[in-house]
Every structure is written in C-alpha cells, then in structure tokens.
Amino acid sequence: MSSLFLPRIIKLGEGCLTEVGKIAKELKVNHLFIVTGSLLSREPFRTIVEESIHKLGLRATYFSNIKREPTTEHLNAALVERENCGADCVVAIGGGSVIDLAKAVSVFSLNKSLRFDDIPAKDNLERLPLIAIPTTAGTGSEATKVMVITDVEKKIKKNPGHPNLIPDAAILDPILTVSLPKHITAYTGMDALAHAMEAYLSKKASPMSDLYALEAIRMIGESLPIAYENGNDVKAREKMLLGSCYAGLAFSNASTNLAHATARPLGTMYHIPHGLCVALLLPFVIEYGLEVSTDRYSTVAKCLGSTVTGRKEEIAADLIKIVRGFNSAFHIWEDGLGYIEHVETFEANLATLIADALSGNGIDTNQKIPTATDIEKIYKDLLLELQNGVWN
C-alpha cells in the first residue's frame, strides 16, 4: 500500500504572495507570527504582505533572527517571542531554514515538553496553523512532512518526520526567488534535483511519488541552467519553484537516500550549506548504485536530456556524467573545496562521519544497502575529486 500526503492549498504564480491574508482568513486565524529572513526587509515584499494582512483585519508579528540553518537556539528564541505576542498562526517566508524553524515553532508552541525523537511516533501531532512561502527552490519544505533543526548541544541535525508537519498552505511566488544569487540558485536547485532523484530511486517509491519525482526531474533539468545563467528569467524561476515543490512531495512520500544520509553529517561538521553538500556527494552515490538500478537510472538520464542511445547500461552510466556536468557548470567542486581544505582533519573525522551517516535516515531505503566500507569509499572519492579534480 502507498499513501500520498500533501498541503491542503497550493498557490502558484507570479504575484501570488498577495494571497497570504486571504489564506490566513480561510484558516480562521487572527494574528500571524511571520518567521522570515532578510528578504522581507526589501520592498515591495514587506508592503505586499502588510497590505494583504491588514486589509482583512489581521495582525502580524515578525521574527527574523535567523541567519543560518536553524538550531535549537533559534527555536527557543522564536518560541519565547511567539508566546509573548500570542499569535495563533505561523507563516514562513524564506528558504528551507526559515520554513523548518516555522514548522518547529508551530509544533512546540502547543507541545512544550515534546522531544524531537518522539515526533514520528505521535498519533496526532498538534500544531498551530502553518503557511509556508518559499524563497529558495529549494528544499520543498513547504510540501514535506520533515523539519531539520540542529541540536546545538548534541551537534547533530535532527530531522523528524510526521504528516502533520506538512503546512496547511504553500504559496509559490517566483518573484520571491529572483534575488537568489547564482551560487544559492545552484546549491538549492541541486538539492531539489537530488530530492526528486532519490525519491524515484528509493525502495519506498510508489506510482504516486514517481509521478511527482519524474516531472520534477524534467522541470529542474530544463530550468536550473537557465535560472542560474539569468536569475531574472521569471518563467525559469517559476519552473524551478514548482519543480522543487514536486520534488519535496516526492521525497516526503517516498524518502531521500544515501546522498542525503552522507551529506547530513558532513554538512554539520564542516558547516557546508545543505544543497552544496548534497550536490558534492550525489555523483559518487549515483556511481555506487549504478548496477542495481539500471532501468530507473536510464529513465532519469533520459528525463535530464541524455542523448546516449543503445544499451540501458550506457544510458544509465550517462547519468553520472550529466550530474558531474551540472556540478562543473555551477562551480560546485570549487565551492566544496573551500569548505573542506584540510585533508588531514577530513581523514581523522571519517569514522565519526560514517557512524553518523549509518545511524540516520536514508540508509535502509537504498536499493543497495551501504556498509561502512561503502560509505568510507564515497567520502574518500569526494575527497580525491576535490584534491585532484580538473573541472572545466
């Protein structure tokens, strides 16, 4: 049996940010706690949001004290402010970091003593009404049942999943993503591509998740190079936003796999942005699974425009080349090298990285189940690539 969980309302299109007030009204709330990054300090976005809210008699309190990927410290600070203002709805306007923080605020506002590890097993996870408005394309968090928060004490990323973590509404306005700089367009776009690919290649893939995954792969493959080259291309930005939302729906209803399992500890240890870390590991993870998923690999390669004809094995192998090609075009390798400069420390940290990767999500759902030695090879291959690669 397979199931499909998704937000109740999804709005898509240029200018649909104006809908925020109307949607809040539909959710029967009065006071919005708006979690946001720096984008909302820019006009015209602030005015659009304020007008949309105020004309319907709603109030808003803003929380923008989040400069990095979210931690338990951000969460505690946001919970105090939400409590003080008494808001009855949480709105996220930002990248995956902001959306995940908003998800956590919506849950922990009503469940003060809940622990992250207990979330997946809860029968009914109560939370405040939640509206997600992504400004990256992206994590797809506006459509997923997952939130990722770093526990600063334990120095690990917690990523509990529960269907009630899916926001009530997602607003996909491509204008919000036009200001993304090239490198963030690339990191977040490669993350979305990895979500769709890993969902399609997962043991938990279903006919329903496949539908979203394959369409996401097509849309992202076509529009990411365009959005990267010309950030003002609103059509390409819109395709990326919808593609990343579909990719989120796909992995939320299937799973992510080894690229995410290996990226999580590496990103935490070296403070590498999530999408960059996933993009760095993706080619090696694809190579690792090549011979067990030939059919599906060749379908993905075709969706990404492979021109190889002939045997399925050859088309499947082309997928590695295509993904490597994206990494080279988007300067992913060079950026990765900037974070992992010290080879000695990397080698010394390997055992911790491997243990952490094996203990988290995304291991059992691979078509080929990785051992510690397999994961060690993937990390070492990445290191070799960064040391010796010739990328252009």
Ligand X SMILES: NC(=O)c1ccc[n+]([C@@H]2O[C@H](COP(=O)([O-])OP(=O)(O)OC[C@H]3O[C@@H](n4cnc5c(N)ncnc54)[C@H](O)[C@@H]3O)[C@@H](O)[C@H]2O)c1
* Contacts to Zn ion by CB under 5 A: 191
| Per-residue binder mask for ligand X (CB under 6 A), 254-283, x = binder | --------------------xx--------
Nearer to Zn ion, 142 or 191 (CB): 191
Evaluate whether 386 touches 339 at the Cβ level (below 8 Å).
Answer: no
Nearer to ligand X, 270 or 377 (CB): 270
Evaluate whether 89 touches 102 at the Cβ level (below 8 Å).
Answer: no
Among 6, 39, 280, 304, binds ligand X (CB under 6 A): 39
Q: Which one of Zn ion, ligand X, none interacts with residue 49, CB within 5 to 8 A by kind?
A: none
Beta strands in the chain (DSSP E): 9-12, 31-36, 59-63, 89-94, 130-134, 149-151, 156-158, 169-172
- Residue 316 CA to residue 323 CA, distance in Å, equals 12
Nearer to Zn ion, 317 or 353 (CB): 353
Nearer to ligand X, 37 or 370 (CB): 37
When asked if residue 139 is in the footprint of ligand X (CB under 6 A), the reply is: yes
Shortest Cβ distance from residue 179 to ligand X (Å)?
A: 4
Hunting for tokens 């490597």 — which residue is that?
A: 324
Shortest Cβ distance from residue 146 to Zn ion (Å)?
A: 9
Q: Which one of ligand X, Zn ion, none interacts with residue 265, CB within 5 to 8 A by kind?
A: none
Among 19, 88, 100, 215, binds ligand X (CB under 6 A): 100
Please report the DSSP string for 321-360 in residue order.
HHHHHHHHHTTHHHHHHHH---HHHHHHHHHHHHHHHHHS
- Residue 368 CA to residue 360 CA, distance in Å, equals 16
Residue 185, beta-bridge partner list: none
- Residue 57 CA to residue 199 CA, distance in Å, equals 42
Footprint (CB under 6 A) of ligand X, residues 194-253: 248
Q: Residue with CB nearest Zn ion?
A: 191
Evaluate whether 2 touches 209 at the Cβ level (below 8 Å).
Answer: yes
The values of phi and psi at residue 271, to 5°, are 55, 45
Shortest Cβ distance from residue 144 to ligand X (Å)?
A: 3
Count how many residues are written for the chain: 392
Among 7, 21, 129, 138, binds ligand X (CB under 6 A): 138
Nearer to ligand X, 162 or 302 (CB): 162
When asked if residue 176 is in the footprint of ligand X (CB under 6 A), the reply is: yes
Q: Which stretch binds ligand X (CB under 6 A): 26-34, 84-92, 130-138, 315-323?
A: 130-138
Q: Which one of Zn ion, ligand X, none interacts with residue 37, CB within 5 to 8 A by kind?
A: ligand X
Q: Which one of Zn ion, ligand X, none interacts with residue 283, CB within 5 to 8 A by kind?
A: none
When asked if residue 96 is in the footprint of ligand X (CB under 6 A), the reply is: yes
Please report the DSSP string for 216-267 in residue order.
HHHHHHHHHHHHHH-TT-HHHHHHHHHHHHHHHHHHHHS---HHHHHHHHHH
Q: Which one of Zn ion, ligand X, none interacts with residue 221, CB within 5 to 8 A by kind?
A: none
Shortest Cβ distance from residue 135 to ligand X (Å)?
A: 4
Written as six digits, the tokens of 287 are 């190579």
- Residue 369 CA to residue 346 CA, distance in Å, equals 24
- Residue 127 CA to residue 89 CA, distance in Å, equals 9
- Residue 272 CA to residue 278 CA, distance in Å, equals 10
| Per-residue binder mask for ligand X (CB under 6 A), 8-37, x = binder | -----------------------------x
Shortest Cβ distance from residue 215 to ligand X (Å)?
A: 18
Chain residues in the site for ligand X (CB under 6 A): 37-39, 69, 94-98, 100, 135-136, 138-141, 144, 146-148, 176-177, 179-180, 184, 188, 191, 248, 274-275
